[in-house]
Amino acid sequence: MSKGYYTHTRVTDFGPYVTKIVLPLPAPVRAVCPESFSVYVRRLDERGELLLLPKSWMAVDDKEESRGYIPVKKAYPSDLSGEPMESGDCVALELAYGPLHQLASRISAPKGLNVFVNMRFTITQTGPLETSEGAVTGLVYDYPLGESCPCSKGWINDTSRTAEPLNYGYYLPQTVEPGPRPLIIWLHGAGEGGVDPSVAYMGNKVVALSSPKIQAYFGGAYVLAPQTPTFWMNDGSGEYGRTGKSMYSKALMDCIEDFVSRNENIDRDRIYIGGDSNGGFMTMRMFLDHPDYFAAAFPVCEALYDETITDEDIKGIKDKALWFTHAKNDPVVKPSETVEPTYKRLIAAGAKNVHFTYWDNIKDIHEGFKDQEGNPFEYIGHFAWIPLLNDDCTLDYDGRPVTIDGEPVTLLQWLSRQKK
């Protein structure tokens, strides 16, 4: 007789993964080993059909059926929430996940944009299990009972009440302290457009901005993650061009102002805007077009070609607060065409509060992801949002720490102290 299972999703540096499965047992157990269960998954589209997906992020045309076994890394008695117990009515299975274990990923891009996929697991008992009522054999779990994702707790999805509505996710500051609170706006990359705003803040680890650590920097902050139906760089042609224009400029500004006007506790002197890749492009576009609206900007691997930025544009933002993040080996958005010349023009114009963290490469230092040789996993150089969202950006273009009043600060600490 088949049974049901619960899944736990965590938003990691490489996106959301099912990292744990919880199996209710017929009787309490005190010990279990990873070899006692096998985990098989089929990843399905909205019609329930098996997905054919790219083998890697860069090899989009090399596809395979999205199904197979996921290694069980750890197993232990637990309660229904998956918390370890000396004796539990459930078993928790911790799964392998990350860049080399994409079958555990909750999202993929079958049509070019990331979407949440339907994951159907079959968990089969493959080894002995001693319970308080004797040995149990032959357990099979093959239908979902529920899913939890603590990382996204507090996030809500909505749509702007504007002429050209945009979907968005948002987070309200969880603080009882009186007084207005700042707003952090995050603009997603090209892969997170579409119709599900959850992808805008869970496709990458944007939920880090609502973590207790980052919220404490700001004394509690609103976070807004708008979503474009296509991609921010779309100038109306439907192509990734070099015009520096976006057909969503007015819709986005209307969305932001709609959100601010309906949340009267937002401090209009502390509205910050940032984003990655396509969202970095749109961060620059909005900052150039509305320099007096935002207190600071933090574009990441931004894709606004410097050739589209006029000297008058530079003059308009040179006295504003701005912190760039990019990697030298970015193969997608070449920094020599975007951030490098723009940064140098700003400094030459006399900018005093413009910074630039310039990574040699982007390596895993938080998740424990390894490559096939067992070394820390190196992401492609485009993924500069990973150190930003992990609050790792501390150095300026000259390799020295950025400081405020003589004290070194991270990018997000710096951001929290900016005010119009």
Going residue by residue through the chain, which has 420 residues, state the pLDDT in tens, using 9 for 90 and above: 679 999 999 999 999 999 999 999 999 999 999 999 999 999 998 888 999 877 665 666 778 899 999 999 999 999 999 999 999 999 999 999 999 999 999 999 888 899 999 999 999 999 999 999 989 999 999 999 999 999 999 999 999 999 999 999 999 999 878 889 999 999 999 999 999 999 999 999 999 999 999 999 999 999 999 999 999 999 999 999 899 999 999 999 999 999 999 999 999 999 999 999 999 999 999 999 999 999 999 999 999 999 999 999 999 999 999 999 999 999 999 999 999 999 999 999 999 999 999 999 999 999 999 999 999 999 999 999 999 999 999 999 999 999 999 999 999 999 999 999
Question: Of the candidates 276, 262, 185, which has an alpha carbon nearest to the alpha carbon of residue 222?
Answer: 185
Residue 1: the pLDDT is 65
Query: What CA–CA distance (Å, rounded) separates 160 from 253?
Result: 11
Domains detected in the chain: 2-150 (2.60.40.2180), 153-416 (3.40.50.1820)
Strand partners, 38: 124
Residue 263: the pLDDT is 96
Q: Work out whether strand 181-187 and strand 222-227 pair parallel, antiparallel, or are unpaired.
A: parallel
- Name every residue whose Cβ is closer than 8 Å to that of residue 402 and which is 6 or more positions away in sequence: 323, 355, 394, 395, 396, 408, 409, 411, 414
- Give burial (CB, 10 Å; 0-12/13-18/19+) of 390: middle
Strand partners, 149: none
Length of the chain: 420
Q: What is the largest distance, in Å, between two alpha-carbon atoms of the chain?
A: 79
Instruction: Give the single-character DSSP code of 294.
Output: -
